[in-house]
Amino acid sequence: MYQSSTNPLSGVLRINLMLIAALIALMGCASSETVPSERSSEPSLTLIHELERPSPDPRVGLAAGLFNAEETIWNLRLLSTTPSPEDFIGSWNTDLAFKDNYAFQGSYNGFVVWDISNPANPEVVVDFLCPASQSDVSVYGDLLFVSGEGLEGRLDCGTQGVDSVVSEERLRGIRIFDISDIRNPEYIHNVQTCRGSHTHSVLVDPNDDENVYVYVSGSAPVRPEDELPGCVSDFPDEDPESALFRIEVIKVPLANPELAEIVSSPRIFEGLDAPPRHGLAPEEQAVIDRAIEQGRFVANYGGTPRIVNDGLVRRFLAQIVQERDGSGEPTQADSTALREKLDYMYTDFMEERLAARGRGLNVGPNQCHDITLYPEVGLAGGACEGYGLLLDISDPAHPVRIDAVADSNFAYWHSATFNNDGTTVLFTDEWGGGTQPKCRETDPYEWGANAIYTIEDGKMVFQSYFKMDAPQTSTENCVAHNGSMLPIPGRDIMVQSWYQGGINVFDFTDPANPVEIAYHDRGPISDDRLEVGGSWSIYWYNGVLVNSEIARGLDIFELLPSEFVTQNEIDAMNTVRMDYFNPQGQPMFHWPASFALARAYLDQLERNRDMDMRAINTIRRGLIDAEGSSGSSRESLLLQLAGELENHAASTNNADKVMRITGVLKDLAEG
Amino acid sequence: MFYRLFLSLTVVLAAAACSTTDQIHDHDQSHEHHQHSEAGIHAPDTGDLSALEELYWSRLQESRMNFTQADIDFMTDMIVHHAQALIISRLAPENNASQSVQTLAARIINAQDDEIALMQKWLRDRGQPVPIVHIHGLELHVEMEMPEESMAHGEHGHGHHQDEDRHHGHNMHHHDMSHHDDMPGMLTQEQIEHLASLNGRDFDRYFLKYMIEHHDGAVIMVRDLFSVDGAANDTEAFELASDIHAEQVTEINRMQQMLDAIEGL
């Protein structure tokens, strides 16, 4: 749908504007000595919150089709779209993992290995038929891990399914392949688990180079004990071996992967009864405030204020009177004593009450959909039903829960992504499980969206919701799904899948005000009925965005420079290289020193009005000179620039970023 | 068309300029993609694509042949089970439920409405009778839409089917509701009427109690489905049942917390 063409005049104006912009850009680039004068005082980059997106939104009303749906794209370039190999057509493509120049794409029918060396022409290296849902994939070294959850998965990879409830032929858990010969993956081992593996996460322990760990998450019902001994679906207070309240951790010895086995089943959920932390809506908070003002008893229960009702207050006071061997009405002193002990008495009472409960009550979440491990900051984000969990994973075999949030919009947490610094975590709400149309005009913005939290002293603090907001049809399954960070230095930018809502790129550097900066969308597979399709996962990998399209195959995109992201920022992004990437095991990005990196930071200082334009342009000119020189003169120019910047640091609004630039310049001088 | 091509060229020019200046956003770039495809380095030509598309639709048809009676019973029962959740949830706004119960009720309505449509589609795709639910106030009426001869398979080469037309050409059979009383978690009509008579905080309390019971029932129905040989092997059935399971377990938990809060815990 090319709506701009309905207004040829605006199109022409735009062309002119663009020519001017391009000319200015050329001048700025070609000239080594001068910076155009109009740039010297006024910033030409606009704050991203002030920029406009295409309007009306061209994602609305796209024509349907499987391989010929109408498409729209903004600030991205689609480099290729390649249909799945024939055996995989009609099945669902799922998650992605990457190693070297290969993309591993899971499918309900098995997995496909693509050579993406040429992103305009990815080639199938292997299509391995081995049905199991969801076949989420991870790679490490010469090993490929594949999740199996559905009931039809077979140990022998057969396509005939399994027709009985208890069967020795069924695989639910993790399949392990040796991919040392990439063209001939060898199926070497299975680890069966009680709920199967919906997804999994590979944890590479920085302190252990002999093993990797696989955290298994399962969300389907527990399999019968007759099929896999030890699987018990009773609740833990009935049977301590219950499989309901745990994730499973598989230890994989790299020298002998066929010996991989479950080493622990940490019960990261037990005793979890945290009420919604950010669930306190302003009006609810007002109620609490009023209660405190009125002198009512408000207990702090697990970090959340709870107004204690009068009956309970009387009961606590009576207890206090009894403890001092008194009788009659409680005194003012008793009341003061209660205020001091309230949190403790209330918590005690709650625990007693909870302990007295049988099954079905206060069970806490009993499964995680997905766990994102971020070993470099020692944290994991668990997306576990109604809870977002923050886990300490400094001991990889024994994750410990340090915080939990529930959401007042009743989110069903699906996955987590951290920003690069590990100071912000984003949870996705896969409302409806991904097969339903949750982006219609009538679906609330907060539902099926991302919820963004900052991490402050080990606690998660709610900041905002973010959802792809172009209304989709009722034949398009659409909800927040998988994505990854883009290594744009100094900014938190993520690319994300929204099933048939397409993909988008957004900036949440300001976690309270996320801004969409690019997108691609297709029309529905069908106008008449909902066929499950769209983007399951899209991730950044070594300069490109690789999209696993459920029904249509593999798309590869690149981000284009725009008002939202400069070419320098993209160039700096593309200096980051990964040898492999599993999105559930988040790597920390590190940027090598480069001129692009320094320029990217300068662009950000300009965009955010953090530094005087004349100073910025002086540094830019200096960078051009330094880049054009070599040896000791380059070194001294760079050090001189670093010195100048240091002098400026105090007078800017972002001394931290200025100091980062000086760091880059010094590194360049050394290098 | 001419100027659109021109636009693309301009974009390339600006991109090549290693610019830090504004780049006009251009959603017309999909146009470029078509050129890529036409260049046809790797993309199958249109003939191949239409063959693949044919394969796609026929595989979808095939995948819908693999189901059991237990799957059919599950879908048929769950539609009615869900319909009762709609009746209960729709009371929330008019009975002055608290904001959080109203939010929960709205989410249940949205979720279960869509799931009903999905389960109806599942049955219709497999040539099975489809319960059509009619809600009149507190009353639930179920009619069975009987499959047409031609409905079964085949003619829907693309599986296209107008939902709006679902009633046309089908025989409708009134359904005896008493059949559903044995479903776990179904409330009695008396319980529903009791709930409808409550207001505010009292409504909240009973809404949560009843809905927890109701959801518990749905979870049991999923577990029962999974305990039948060959059931839930069908991808769509497995996904639906697992999603219902995960969603309702999550909601039971949240409702229990809300109930605690109301009861002063």
Q: Check pLDDT > 60 for residue B178.
A: no
A132 and A193 together in one domain: yes
**DSSP result, A356-379:** T--TTSS------SEEEEEGGGTE
Spell out which residues of chain B touch residue A25, defining contact as CB-CB under 8 Å: 14, 17-21
Inter-chain contact B27–A53, Cβ cutoff 8 Å?
no
pLDDT of residue A276: 37
A247 and A286 together in one domain: no
pLDDT of residue A277: 37
Which residue among A355, A390, A413 closes a domain?
A: A355
As a whole-number percent, the residues of chain B with pLDDT over 70 amount to 69
Inter-chain contact B107–A152, Cβ cutoff 8 Å?
no
Distance of alpha carbon B90 from alpha carbon B87, whole angstroms: 5
Q: Which tens digit of pLDDT belongs to each residue from A1-20?
A: 333 333 433 433 344 444 44
Q: Which tens digit of pLDDT belongs to each residue from A474-508?
A: 999 999 999 999 999 999 999 999 999 999 999 99
Q: Which of B4, B42, B115 is closest, CB to CB, to A121?
A: B42
Spell out which residues of chain A touch residue B249, defining contact as CB-CB under 8 Å: 365-367, 385
Token pair for residue B188?
């009695």
Q: Which tens digit of pLDDT belongs to each residue from A244-278?
A: 446 778 999 999 999 999 886 655 555 444 333 34
- Per the CB < 8 A criterion, the answer to whether A566 and A583 are in contact is no
Question: How many angstroms away from the CA of B47 is the closest CA of chain A?
Answer: 11
Token pair for residue B38?
């036409």
Burial of residue A327, with CB atoms counted within 10 A of its CB: 0-12 exposed, 13-18 middle, 19 or more buried: exposed
pLDDT of residue A512: 97
Spell out which residues of chain A touch residue B248, defining contact as CB-CB under 8 Å: none
pLDDT of residue A366: 57
- Per the CB < 8 A criterion, the answer to whether A574 and A580 are in contact is no
Give the residue with greater pLDDT, A356 vs A148: A148
Token pair for residue A487?
């290594």
A497 and A540 together in one domain: yes
Flag whether A31 is in a domain. no
Q: Which tens digit of pLDDT belongs to each residue from A627-647?
A: 999 999 999 999 999 999 998
Which residue among A552, A581, A610 closes a domain?
A: A581
Token pair for residue A109?
């029918």
Flag whether A119 is in a domain. yes
As a whole-number percent, the residues of chain A with pLDDT over 90 amount to 63
Which pLDDT band, with edges at 50, 70 and 90, does B89 fall under?
very high
Distance of alpha carbon A220 from alpha carbon A148, whole angstroms: 11
pLDDT of residue A274: 38
Q: Check pLDDT > 50 for residue A360.
A: no
Question: How many angstroms away from the CA of B58 is the closest CA of chain A?
Answer: 8
Q: How many residues does chain A have?
A: 671
pLDDT of residue B204: 96
Question: How many angstroms away from the CA of B42 is the closest CA of chain A?
Answer: 6
pLDDT of residue B190: 87
Task: Give the β-pairing of A93-99 and A544-549.
Answer: unpaired
Give the residue with greater pLDDT, A121 vs A199: A121
Q: Check pLDDT > 90 for residue A78.
A: yes
pLDDT of residue A2: 36
Selection from A555-564, A610-619, B16-25 with the highest mean pLDDT: A555-564
Inter-chain contact B17–A22, Cβ cutoff 8 Å?
yes
Give the residue with greater pLDDT, A317 vs B253: A317
Inter-chain contact A54–B25, Cβ cutoff 8 Å?
yes
Distance of alpha carbon A296 from alpha carbon A319, whole angstroms: 18
pLDDT of residue A597: 98
Give the residue with greater pLDDT, A592 vs A312: A592
Distance of alpha carbon A260 from alpha carbon A620, whole angstroms: 54
Lowest mean pLDDT among A192-201, A226-235, A361-370, A421-430: A361-370
Q: Check pLDDT > 70 for residue A345.
A: yes
Q: Which tens digit of pLDDT belongs to each residue from A518-576?
A: 999 999 999 999 999 999 999 999 999 999 999 999 999 999 999 999 999 999 999 99
Q: Any residues with CB less than 8 A from the CB of A480 and at least 6 apart, and which?
A: A414, A428, A429, A430, A431, A448, A449, A450, A467, A468, A496, A498
Selection from A190-194, A201-205, A554-558, B28-32 with the highest mean pLDDT: A554-558
Q: Which tens digit of pLDDT belongs to each residue from A90-120?
A: 999 999 999 999 999 999 999 999 999 999 9
- For chain A, the C-alpha Rg in angstroms (whole number) is 28
Token pair for residue A663?
């760091």
A168 and A260 together in one domain: yes
Flag whether A323 is in a domain. yes
Inter-chain contact B118–A531, Cβ cutoff 8 Å?
no
A383 and A503 together in one domain: yes
Here the CATH number for the domain that contains residue A89 is: 2.130.10.10
pLDDT of residue B14: 38
Flag whether A277 is in a domain. no
Q: Check pLDDT > 50 for residue A203.
A: yes
Distance of alpha carbon B246 from alpha carbon A365, whole angstroms: 10
Inter-chain contact A67–B53, Cβ cutoff 8 Å?
yes
Lowest mean pLDDT among A68-72, B175-179, B219-223: B175-179
| Cα–Cα nearest to B246, from A401, A488, A84, A366 | A366
pLDDT of residue A352: 59
Question: How many angstroms away from the CA of B23 is the closest CA of chain A?
Answer: 4
Inter-chain contact B25–A563, Cβ cutoff 8 Å?
yes
Lowest mean pLDDT among B43-57, B75-89, B98-112: B43-57
Q: Check pLDDT > 60 for residue A403.
A: yes
A231 and A318 together in one domain: no
Q: How many domains does chain A have?
A: 2
pLDDT of residue A284: 57
Flag whether A587 is in a domain. no
Lowest mean pLDDT among A120-124, A579-583, B246-250: B246-250
Q: Any residues with CB less than 8 A from the CB of B55 and at least 6 apart, and which?
A: A86, A89, A90
Question: How many angstroms away from the CA of B261 is the closest CA of chain A?
Answer: 8
Nearest-CA residue of chain B relative to A410? B104
A345 and A398 together in one domain: no
A427 and A454 together in one domain: yes
A84 and A186 together in one domain: yes
Q: Check pLDDT > 90 for residue A400.
A: no
Spell out which residues of chain B touch residue A311, defining contact as CB-CB under 8 Å: 264
Flag whether A266 is in a domain. yes
Nearest-CA residue of chain A relative to B108? A410
Q: Any residues with CB less than 8 A from the CB of A586 and at least 6 apart, and which?
A: A372, A373, A374, A417, A418, A484, A485
Question: Does 1.20.1260.10 match the CATH number of domain B68-262?
Answer: yes
Mean predicted lDDT score pLDDT of chain A: 86
Q: Which of B3, B50, B222 is closest, CB to CB, to A11?
A: B3
A318 and A406 together in one domain: no
A304 and A162 together in one domain: no
Q: Check pLDDT > 50 for residue A657.
A: yes
Token pair for residue B1?
């068309």
A235 and A330 together in one domain: no
Q: Check pLDDT > 80 for residue A611.
A: yes
pLDDT of residue B187: 87
Which residue among A355, A372, A395 closes a domain?
A: A355
Within a 10 A sphere around the Cβ of A415, how many other Cβ atoms?
A: 28
Question: How many angstroms away from the CA of A579 is the closest CA of chain B?
Answer: 26
Domain residues for the domain of A126 are: 71-272+364-581
**How much is the average pLDDT of A70-87?**
97
**DSSP result, A29-79:** HH-SS---THHHHS--S--GGG----SS-TTTTPPP-SSS--EEEESEEEE
Q: Domain spans of chain B? A: 68-262
Flag whether A595 is in a domain. no
Mean predicted lDDT score pLDDT of chain B: 76
The CA angle A316-A319-A325, to the nearest 5 degrees, is: 150
Flag whether A666 is in a domain. no
Distance of alpha carbon B203 from alpha carbon B217, whole angstroms: 21
**How much is the average pLDDT of B103-126?**
95
Q: Any residues with CB less than 8 A from the CB of B167 and at least 6 apart, and which?
A: B132, B145
Distance of alpha carbon A175 from alpha carbon A537, whole angstroms: 21
Distance of alpha carbon A138 from alpha carbon B265, whole angstroms: 44
Q: Check pLDDT > 80 for residue A41.
A: no
Which pLDDT band, with edges at 50, 70 and 90, does B29 fall under?
very low
